[in-house]
Amino acid sequence: MRISVFGLGYVGCVSAACLASMGHEVIGVDVNQVKVDLVNDGKAPVVEERIGELTADVVRTGALRATTDVREAIMDSEVSLVCVGTPSEPNGSLCTTYLERVTEEIGAALAERGGRHTVVFRSTMLPGTCLNLLVPILEKSLGGTVGVDVGVAVNPEFLREGTSVRDFFDPPKTVIGELDQASGDAVAALYEGLPGEVFRVPVPTAEAIKYADNAFHGLKIGFANELGAVCQALGVDSHQVMDVFLADRKLNISPAYLRPGFAFGGSCLPKDLRSLVHAAQRADVSVPILSHVLPSNADHLQRAVELVERTGKRRVGMFGLSFKPGTDDLRESPLVELAERLFGKGYDLKIHDANVSLSRLIGANREYIETRLPHLAQLLADSVDEVLQHAEVCLVGTKDPAVLSALPHGGGQVIVDLIRLPDAETRRTEPGYMGLAW
């Protein structure tokens, strides 16, 4: 394919040289004449493992050249990869100035060119940037319509600086956010023959994936370092701890606990986080991530309260009360806390949980419920139907099959979904459905 690459920084320069080495014909564009001259001399404008030799090779064979002339690059290509910088503004917001300018320039050049062209944004940008900001700019300067006169896609970059050439040929994944199938096909063709799974998703999803990745990577490093500091203060070898931690592929290094859902609770997580943070504080070790896990969880619980408030209705039927399915343990159940807040706000509440009935409540549970939710006995209903009859709002906190099969469709009753119902995908389009974090 004939490809133009806009922005010859770390991302653009590696993409350009690697694509050229795969047999594509590539023209790099940058506003910086020094970078353009360096590339045309066969020298990489960035320092990266293997990029020097690769650039020299592909420039010598004529597969890669560079220019400052946008028009020339657009005339000579069928796909444009936009790799300009998106730095932080002083207030932390994303600077889209370079993206906006380059999009306008590409649109103006395409207006002269005619014929099918696909613009692929590789820069990191917040969900909505492409469709709400860049597409209107492109359509205006082009005097045409995306999807008809020009293809548009988002193709975030997941390569690590330092090893990005190696990563390019063995990527962790390829993500294609496509405006339409033809746009996605053009991006897929660029990487044909490379290993790794390819995900073709809506444009805003592709934009968000990059943030999910980087936020998680930062969180992982912060978590490991805080835990390391606490272990050190307590005289424990943190690397030995993490060796064992990492060996657990069922609960730790796994998809477990990584799907948006309801707040956590139970008799262990809150208690153990509290005591770990307390131990860190006593040892004068600052652990901002660990100490904000419980407040984050409390904020998430509050979101559920606000969802119910937003319905404007008073009669609430709650399904599920114990802290997770298959147990009657109510200690620190976030659903108990939610029920209590709604009750306190005067909602007319009925609750059903097959695992919980007052007669079965013994020991710690009975005591817990008596202090946390003294009116539970009046609120509990023995059957799903009784709660359904009562409810204007069905608040679903359990995956109990008897509840799932009885839940109504179609908007007569509002469904507030705390657990991502198995049919949430279709329900999302129905009136009266509200997901907690989806």
Interaction site with ligand NAD (CB under 6 A): 6-12, 29-32, 35, 83-86, 98, 101-102, 123-124, 157, 161
Report the C-alpha gap between 80 and 4 in whole angstroms: 5
- CA 269 to mean position of chain CA atoms: 24
- CB–CB of 80/117 below 8 Å? yes
Report the C-alpha gap between 349 and 436 in whole angstroms: 19
Q: In whole angstroms, how close is the CB of 89 to ligand NAD at the nearest point?
A: 13
Which DSSP helix (H) or strand (E) runs through 118?
strand 118-121
Whichever of 157 and 178 has its CB closer to ligand NAD, that residue is: 157
Pairing of strands 118-121, 79-82: parallel
64 pairs with which residues across the strands?
26
Q: Which residue is nearest to ligand NAD (CB)?
A: 9
Report the C-alpha gap between 89 and 95 in whole angstroms: 6
Q: In whole angstroms, how close is the CB of 157 to ligand NAD at the nearest point?
A: 4
Whichever of 36 and 285 has its CB closer to ligand NAD, that residue is: 36
What are the tokens at 413?
């009753």
**φ and ψ of 178, to 5 deg:** -115, 135
Report the C-alpha gap between 154 and 233 in whole angstroms: 45
Longest dimension (CA), the chain: 83
Whichever of 67 and 355 has its CB closer to ligand NAD, that residue is: 67
Q: In whole angstroms, how close is the CB of 213 to ligand NAD at the nearest point?
A: 9
Pairing of strands 118-121, 151-154: parallel
Report the C-alpha gap between 60 and 169 in whole angstroms: 21
Nearest to 295 by CA among 259, 324, 263, 340: 263
What dihedral do alpha carbons 263, 265, 269, 275 form, nearest 10°? Answer: 100
Active site includes 268? Answer: yes
Report the C-alpha gap between 139 and 257 in whole angstroms: 42
Side chain identity at residue 356, one-letter code = V
Whichever of 87 and 235 has its CB closer to ligand NAD, that residue is: 87
Residue tagged active-site, from 13, 231, 268, 394: 268
Q: In whole angstroms, how close is the CB of 21 to ligand NAD at the nearest point?
A: 18
Whichever of 5 and 434 has its CB closer to ligand NAD, that residue is: 5
Q: In whole angstroms, how close is the CB of 159 to ligand NAD at the nearest point?
A: 6
Whichever of 121 and 368 has its CB closer to ligand NAD, that residue is: 121
Q: In whole angstroms, how close is the CB of 7 to ligand NAD at the nearest point?
A: 3
Tell me which residue has tokens 């999009």: 103
State the helix-helix crossing angle for 203-233 and 238-247, rounded to 10 degrees: 140
Q: In whole angstroms, how close is the CB of 289 to ligand NAD at the nearest point?
A: 23
Whichever of 55 and 398 has its CB closer to ligand NAD, that residue is: 55
Mind telling me the catalytic residues?
A: 268
